[in-house]
Structure 1
Amino acid sequence: MTERYGPRDRVYDLFRRWQRDGTWARTVTRLQAEADAKGLITWDVNADSTVCRVQQHAAGRGERGLLIRAGRLPAA
């Protein structure tokens, strides 16, 4: 690596500078746009359960859930 790109600390310094100033983000965005225009990317949507939330009533936290836990309503 040293022969081709120079000293490691210089390579790292450039990498960090480009990361901080947004060069890498712009590069990825442009490459994705070009690949998408050529039909080379299939965009899929993925939902991870760690980011899904249930509406409060479905989670038993609404008024009915509170009344059931307080013993004022039957659970069924």
Structure 2
Amino acid sequence: MDEERKWETADSSSKKTEQPGQRLQSAFLVRYLTDGQTQQFILEDVATRQRKRFDSLAALQAWLQDLFTISKQ
């Protein structure tokens, strides 16, 4: 995968009342890699440098939806 494009660094914060042990601010970096035939999306947590790879945008969106649904509970 020759081409690498950084899409966006998103920094989102909430104005809700902070609860002990809860992190209200997150920043993620998304990279899109392609060689013209295959594609990958790499999501990196900026704070922890943990990375997760996805083979489709739909898979990335589903994982993020689950993450934010869990964090709201």
Q: Which has the larger radius of gyration?
A: 1
Which of the two has greater strand per residue?
2
TM over 0.5: no
Query: Relative CO higher for 1 or 2, CA cutoff 8 Å, sep ≥ 6?
Result: 2
What TM-score comes out, normalization by structure 1 length? 0.29
